[in-house]
Amino acid sequence: MDVRDAAEAVFRAESGRIMATLIRLSGSFDRAEEAMQEAFASALAAWPERGIPDNPAAWITATAHRKLIDQTRREHTRRDKQDALRYEVENVQAVAEIDSGGEPESMKFPDDRLRLMFTCCHPALHREAQVALTLRTLGGLTTVEIAKAFLVSESTLAQRLVRARRKIQEARIPYEVPPPHQLAPRLSSVQAVVYLIFNEGYTAACGDRLVRLDLCAEAIRLGRVLQELLPHDCENLALLALMLLHHSRRDARIRNSQLVTLEEQDRKLWYRQEIAEGLELIDRALQRGPVGQYQIQAAIAAVHAEAKAAAETDWNQIAALYGKLLHFNSSAVIALNHAVAIAMSSGLEEGLRRIDDLGRAGELDQYYLFHAARADILRRMDRSAAAKEAYLRAFALTANEVERQFLRQRIVTLD
């Protein structure tokens, strides 16, 4: 393999783990990143001659660790000789281990990434900062790629990262897995960030499709880390299952840059392996319990995944699951999904009645999917004129070209 390709592969797959270790060793995001970058530069210089090491990630970590120590030693010689000595001892150990072909001691901390996830998703940071920091620190995406995916300029994103890292340092946000009494809310913040990253990639919003698929893949990878490191939390299993089940439809849901509804998707294009893994995960989560939001959402996705054809979808079960989901989160959007499931199972009239009830509450009036869902029910009832009106309403409420194209298509078919 080409050295540059090898280095890039290591960066994509392992930079999260390397960063996590370096941050633990240095106690600083900035120093860790600087050391990691220097180590990658060293790799590009050294590998062509010496060959790619057997464990490139360990090589990068050990090299970056050495750079950290050099840096610390320089800073400490004047002030604190004792501390420099301590680092030096660790350095000698790490180098000795890597020379003997083993993983350095510094790589053997499986908890590092988990701690870092909690730091990056700390509630004292703004949600946008949590997302950027998590992707930048734990994912394998560059700042340019993240900026592109979130449609912000590179400098805005860089600013966001600088501010977040500064707050971590200055307000002393710890680099720890939270104690038991804080764990539940903190874990749900981490899960929310991972799911947000996934959804950002999944939504058919404008932007480069490849970049968006990268985001989904990145979120799934983070979900795997979370599930590996905290496997006892059922919601971690369910979150990963949910993302896998949605992601498995990626090729079927876009045709000629147009959105294809679940009903009209060619199910042969679904990725069977991801579905199998998702189903296995959600089964395991549901057996263990306690039940949570991600489990119900994943269970809904599982019902769709299990239907061989759209007409075979078990809408009764989906309606029941949405009903359950409402107990956890009584949002109007979930109520809308519930009503649609009822329309598909108990009857269109009943579904429409519920949707109209929701509409009267006013909250969903500016939500394009509300009008699109309503239009779809009306279309199924052969009330073409009313359906068209609702589609037009939806059309006026979305700026997303993929969605507009979809609605345009629907309107044309009704004419």
Instruction: Give the residue with the Cβ less far from another protein, 153 or 182.
Output: 182
Stretch that binds another protein, among 12-20, 87-95, 102-110, 178-186 (CB under 8 A): 178-186
Stretch that binds another protein, among 165-173, 224-232, 234-242, 262-270 (CB under 8 A): 165-173
CA-angle at 290, arms to 295 and 120, nearest 5°: 65
- Tokens matching residue 116: 């870092």
Residues β-bridged to residue 255: 258
Number of residues near another protein (by CB under 8 A): 11
First CA to last CA distance, the chain? 57
Among 54, 170, 312, 415, binds another protein (CB under 8 A): 170
CA distance 16 to 314: 40
Q: How far is the CB of 171 from another protein (least distance, A)?
A: 5
Residues 18-37 that bind another protein (CB under 8 A): none
Residues 109-148 that bind another protein (CB under 8 A): 122, 124
The answer to whether residues 194 and 187 touch, using CB atoms and an 8 Å cutoff, is no
> Quick one: how far is CA 250 from the chain centroid?
15
Instruction: Give the residue with the Cβ less far from another protein, 170 or 382.
Output: 170
The answer to whether residues 103 and 21 touch, using CB atoms and an 8 Å cutoff, is no
Backbone angles phi, psi at 257, to 5 degrees: 55, 25
Assess 176 for contact with another protein (CB under 8 A).
yes
Stretch that binds another protein, among 2-10, 166-174, 313-321, 355-363 (CB under 8 A): 166-174
CA distance 222 to 216: 10
Q: 300: exposed, middle or buried (C-beta count within 10 Å: 0-12, 13-18, 19+)? A: buried
Among 173, 282, 299, 340, binds another protein (CB under 8 A): 173
Q: How far is the CB of 123 from another protein (least distance, A)?
A: 8
Instruction: Give the residue with the Cβ less far from another protein, 174 or 347.
Output: 174
Stretch that binds another protein, among 106-114, 172-180, 345-353, 370-378 (CB under 8 A): 172-180
Instruction: Give the residue with the Cβ less far from another protein, 122 or 250.
Output: 122
Among 153, 182, 261, 329, binds another protein (CB under 8 A): 182
Assess 180 for contact with another protein (CB under 8 A).
no
Instruction: Give the residue with the Cβ less far from another protein, 170 or 415.
Output: 170
Assess 174 for contact with another protein (CB under 8 A).
yes
Residues β-bridged to residue 254: 259
Assess 75 for contact with another protein (CB under 8 A).
no
Backbone angles phi, psi at 126, to 5 degrees: -65, 145
Assess 178 for contact with another protein (CB under 8 A).
yes
Q: How far is the CB of 173 from another protein (least distance, A)?
A: 5
Among 78, 79, 179, 312, binds another protein (CB under 8 A): 179
The secondary structure element, H or E, covering residue 259 is strand 258-259
The secondary structure element, H or E, covering residue 255 is strand 254-255
DSSP designation for 258 = E
Q: 400: exposed, middle or buried (C-beta count within 10 Å: 0-12, 13-18, 19+)? A: middle
Q: How far is the CB of 119 from another protein (least distance, A)?
A: 10
Q: How far is the CB of 182 from another protein (least distance, A)?
A: 7
The secondary structure element, H or E, covering residue 156 is helix 154-170
How far CA 100 is from CA of 52, 89, 104, 221, 274, in Å, comes to 16, 17, 9, 31, 39
Which residues of the shown chain bind another protein in the complex (CB under 8 A)? 122, 124, 170-174, 176, 178-179, 182
